[in-house]
């Protein structure tokens, strides 16, 4: 009896040891080019984090990598420099506050609109509205900046033209910082409203109609139907978008802040600068690369932490909706 048991165990163990098959080789080769892409463009930059820990000096006559290896270690000096700089507080406030507003509006408005569109009688009209609202998504921020310019140009713009027609005082839009938080929030909602609404609408139309019919028989009002049937059905999509957005809370949509403001004139600097515009500017003006790297990696690390945190919190509350 005992030897039979040992034999069975041996067979079980060898079945667990998967053999490398010809299939595995072929599949590995098939996935190899993409794997190489990830190595070059996703993972190689991750190693660049050591730039943030060094005081980079070009070794004359040698390439970048050699110079990097030969530069001195700077410990946390670059990070400290960045965090203690005047810019940091402003950048942190701008980036995070704008994102919070974007996330909240981006979760509420498209959902409401999707429910509204699903309720109107004329479905063809609904499709037309949807198509028109999807239009801004396909414009690049450069093109959008021209659109905004047509309205806000100080001497020719439509808005100033209307103000002048009513005898009012024209506004130097691109020099007055106080309007820009509203302008930027409006433009962000304008550009993304169609995209999100379309995703939620697709989920809503997938809901089984018999659920609604049963609810009506039970005497549910429209509000109750929305609250108990519609919203829970799209919950996982909304939550997933929410987690992904929170995970990007230290990143910003560079195009929005840089292009719509016409390349951030000085007058708007403290109101519209975000981490991304700061880093971009540092790259373009050849600022010491260690400091720029510290700023950039602060973003990456902070966002990694927030996305894991957001996912963790959601998984505790409702484990089906978490993405990890």
Partner 1 sequence: MNRLNRIKPATNVVFNLLLLLLALVCIIPLILVFMVSISSEASLSAQGYRFIPESFSGTAYAFLWNERATILHALWISVLVTVLGTVLGLLLTTTMGYVLSRPVFRLKGFFTYVVFIPMIFNGGMLANYVVTNNLLGLGNNILALILPLAVSSFNIIICKTFFKSTIPDSIIESAKIDGATQFRIFGSIVMPISKPVLATIGLFLSFGYWNDWFQSTLYITDGRLFSLQALLDKMIKQIQYIAGNPSAGASLQQYISQMPTEGVRMAIAVVVVIPIACAYPFFQKYFISGLTIGAVKG
Contact set for partner 1, span 2-21 (CB under 8 A): 18, 20-21
Residue number, 11 or 34, with CB nearest to partner 1: 34
Residue number, 8 or 36, with CB nearest to partner 1: 36
Residue number, 8 or 120, with CB nearest to partner 1: 120
Q: Provide DSSP, 155-170.
A: TT-HHHHHHHHTT---
Residue number, 1 or 29, with CB nearest to partner 1: 29
**Count of residues in contact with partner 1, rule CB under 8 A:** 111
Structure tokens at 76: 């946390």
Window contacting partner 1 (CB under 8 A); options: 79-87, 89-97, 100-108, 237-245? 237-245
Q: Report yes or no: 137 and 192 within 8 Å, Cβ to Cβ.
A: yes
- Token pair 């039979």 is found at 4
Q: Report yes or no: 245 and 102 within 8 Å, Cβ to Cβ.
A: yes
- Name which of residues 86 to 125 contact partner 1 (CB under 8 A): 113, 116-117, 119-122, 125
Q: Mask: binding to partner 1, 32-51, rule CB under 8 A, as x and -? A: -xxx-xx-xxxxxxx-xx-x
Residue number, 1 or 166, with CB nearest to partner 1: 166
When asked if residue 236 is in the footprint of partner 1 (CB under 8 A), the reply is yes
Among 8, 9, 10, 27, binds partner 1 (CB under 8 A): 27
- As a whole number of angstroms, the distance between CA 255 and CA 262 comes to 10
User: Would you call 4 helix, strand, or coil by DSSP?
Assistant: helix
When asked if residue 315 is in the footprint of partner 1 (CB under 8 A), the reply is no
Q: Are strands 72-73 and 54-55 parallel, antiparallel or unpaired?
A: antiparallel
Sign of the Cα torsion 117, 120, 124, 125 reads: negative
């Amino acid at each position: 009896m005992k030897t039979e048991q040992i034999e069975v165990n041996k067979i079980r163990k060898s079945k667990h040891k998967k053999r490398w098959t010809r299939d595995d080789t072929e599949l590995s080769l098939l996935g190899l080019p993409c794997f190489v892409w990830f190595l070059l463009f996703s993972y190689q930059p991750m190693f660049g984090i050591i730039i943030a820990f060094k005081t980079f000096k070009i070794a004359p006559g040698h390439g970048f990598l050699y110079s990097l290896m030969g530069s001195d270690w700077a410990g946390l000096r670059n990070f400290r420099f960045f965090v203690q700089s005047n810019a940091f507080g402003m950048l942190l406030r701008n980036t995070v506050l704008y994102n919070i507003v974007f996330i909240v509006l981006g979760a509420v408005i498209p959902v409401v609109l999707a429910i509204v569109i699903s309720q109107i009688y004329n479905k063809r009209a609904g499709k037309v509205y949807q198509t028109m609202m999807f239009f801004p998504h396909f414009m690049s921020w450069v093109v959008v900046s021209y659109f905004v310019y047509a309205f806000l140009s100080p001497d020719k713009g439509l808005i100033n033209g209307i103000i002048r027609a009513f005898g009012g005082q024209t506004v130097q839009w691109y020099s007055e910082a106080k309007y820009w938080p509203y302008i930027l929030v409006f433009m962000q909602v304008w550009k993304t409203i169609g995209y999100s609404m379309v995703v939620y609408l697709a989920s809503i139309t997938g809901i089984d109609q018999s659920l609604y019919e049963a609810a009506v028989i039970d005497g549910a009002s429209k509000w109750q139907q929305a609250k108990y049937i519609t919203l829970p059905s799209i919950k996982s999509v909304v939550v997933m978008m929410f987690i992904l957005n929170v995970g990007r809370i230290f990143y910003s949509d560079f195009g929005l802040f840089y292009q719509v403001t016409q390349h951030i004139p000085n007058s708007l600097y403290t109101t519209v600068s975000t981490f991304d515009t700061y880093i971009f500017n540092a790259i373009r003006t050849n600022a010491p690369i260690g400091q720029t790297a510290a700023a950039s990696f602060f973003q990456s690390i902070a966002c990694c932490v927030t996305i894991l945190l957001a996912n963790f919190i959601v998984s505790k509350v409702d484990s089906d909706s978490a993405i990890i």
